[in-house]
Amino acid sequence: MVSQSAVSDHLSEAELFERWSDRWDHFLDDFSAASSSATVSERLRDKVKIGNAERAIAGGNEGREILELLQNARDAIPRETEGGRVYVGVYDEGVLVANTGHPFDMFDPDVEDAVTMIGESSKGNSDQEIGHKGVGLKSILATGDAFEIWTRHENATNETLRVRLSRSYVTTALLSSLGYDTSAFDLRGTVSTEAIQSLITASNADQRTEKLTQDAREDIGKLPLFDFPVPLTTASGAADPVADRASALITGDVDEWYGDPFRTAVFVEYEDTEWRDILEEFDIPQPESSDRDSAGRAERLWSYLSKAAGGEDATSEALTSETLIQFGGIETVLLERVEGTEQPSRERWDVDRTSGPLDSETVRHETVTVAVEGTDASFADQQFDQFGFPDTDAPTQLLVPQTRTEREQLQEYPLYLYYPIENTRDVSLPFCLHGHFTVETNRKDLSLNSLDENQAVLERGVKLVARVAEAAGESNFGDRYPWILLPPPPKSYPDNPSS
């Protein structure tokens, strides 16, 4: 998420809602009860391309989408704070992620564009802003059908903005414009702006009797998720328990385990039943989706996150201490698995940083401890030495796990861009090296088009290792990590930039 711009650059709530209603109006103006199937397909062509692009990004990030959400939560936490809190709740209906950082600033036109326009991002190259909102948020389509934002912001009515992104609204509005009766569908929540509400509910009912062609119906099913935000009132209740929890996290109406109120909560809904019911009613093919079972998806996500559920042998796609440390800026992560009325399972991850003995004018050294405490299990603390250049803005980081015994087997790491670059595992370094590598969209491979840039990042990593080795030579760290003086050379494959 992005830090707030100057106030003068921000939209008022009325201006934001007008921006959205104009977008809706412009889109729906192209359709009427007289539109032929061929015309529908022609006029949906660009939107179908955007929808396909969203799904392609989601497919490339499948299995790591929860880390993308954590990364966006970390981005919201300002650098000047000692550290922020992040909450991740895994529910039967979806996953809820909250943070204590800056608001999710939809009133900033650049942020709004980044969220609603494929591939756009208001972020520069700042190390403070490590995600790409346009791409990172769209990766959530690997997890769910719909997306909802709750955020405290001074420009919002009652200082809280609630925005839902669901294809149920735009699909209903389009079918209505085409002359079909959609009055039987009661969509989620109360829309905050009358202009959008009227577009969703306006109906040319029964003006069209013939069925659209298969191609036209398929195109309607491929509409993008992020193009058409819908602002909702913040009223919630027992009928919508996740929305009720999101509201409570924002207002602080929760028990002390959660701490002070969060600033932003985002909810990814596994299955948008309203949208899928509309598709089924009008015989619109549903887009293919893996792992459609919501219960299975919730368990998969919980096993990624929870140390107790995933076990000590968690996969590289799971949340690990190394990833949490490399993210930076997060002091506490609260994890919760909520299943119906049962008592939730909880885990608390705390990251503690202290200045290390090698901290000097040439190398920055912190001792980092990660403590994990669960509802039914506790775990041994994990300790690391983290090294960097004295410039706090320098992105290159060396993270070394502290071994408990001389016989303890050394871990092997791929290269990291906050979390593992999956297809660099042949590198097998005995430390976790993070740098601003340029990667492919799938985040699994180093970019084929950026060999020189990635070579420079690696050379900077070698320079950091040399500085640490020099500092360690005058302390007991040479005995503690003898390998640091001479890291084993990785395997080299000239035709493979990941090597």
pLDDT tens per residue across span 24-33: 999 999 999 8
User: How far is Cα of residue 53 from the mean position of the Cα atoms in its chain?
Assistant: 17
In this prediction, residue 456 carries a pLDDT of 94
Question: Taking the alpha carbons of 360, 362, 367, 370 in that order, is the dihedral positive or negative?
Answer: positive
Q: Which token pair is 203?
A: 């109906």
304 CB burial (10 A radius; 0-12, 13-18, 19+): buried
Q: Tally the C-alpha atoms within 13 A of residue 414's C-alpha that lie toward its C-beta.
A: 21
CA atoms within 13 A on the CB side of 38: 0
How high is the pLDDT of residue 254? 92
Give pLDDT, residue 304.
86
Q: Specify the pLDDT at position 292.
A: 53
pLDDT attached to residue 483? 57
H helical segments located in 130-240: 133-136, 167-177, 194-201, 214-220
Q: Are 150 and 161 in contact (CB under 8 A)?
A: yes
Q: What is the three-class DSSP state of 301?
A: helix
pLDDT of residue 130: 36
Q: How many other β-carbons are positioned within 10 Å of the β-carbon of residue 63? A: 16
Q: What per-residue confidence (pLDDT) applies to 126?
A: 43
Residues of the chain short of pLDDT 70, as ranges, are: 1-8, 58-64, 79-82, 118-142, 202-206, 237-238, 288-295, 311-317, 392, 403-409, 478-499
Angle at 270 between CA 317 and CA 165, to 5 degrees: 110
Question: Residue 216 corresponds to which tokens in the numbers above?
Answer: 């036209």
Torsion, Cα of 106, 111, 115, 121 (10° steps): -170
Quote the DSSP letter at residue 413. B
| Residue 330: partners with Cβ closer than 8 Å, 6 or more residues away | 73, 74, 77, 83, 84, 85, 86, 324, 351
Q: What burial class does residue 280 get, using C-beta atoms within 10 Å of its C-beta: 0-12 exposed, 13-18 middle, 19+ buried? A: exposed
DSSP code for 258: G
Sign of the torsion formed by the C-alpha atoms of 75, 79, 81 and 82: positive
3-state SS class at 472 = helix
**Closest Cα to residue 224, out of 277, 275, 292?**
275
Q: What share of the chain is helix, strand, coil (3-state, %, to 5)?
A: 35, 20, 45
pLDDT of residue 208: 83
Residue 410: predicted pLDDT: 72
- Altogether, the residues listed in the chain come to a count of 499
Q: What whole-number distance in Å separates Cα of residue 21 and Cα of residue 228?
A: 9
Phi-psi region at 488: left, alpha or beta (left = phi > 0; alpha = psi -120 to 50): beta
What are the φ and ψ backbone dihedral angles of 348, each rounded to 5 degrees?
A: -120, 125
The DSSP code for 127 is T
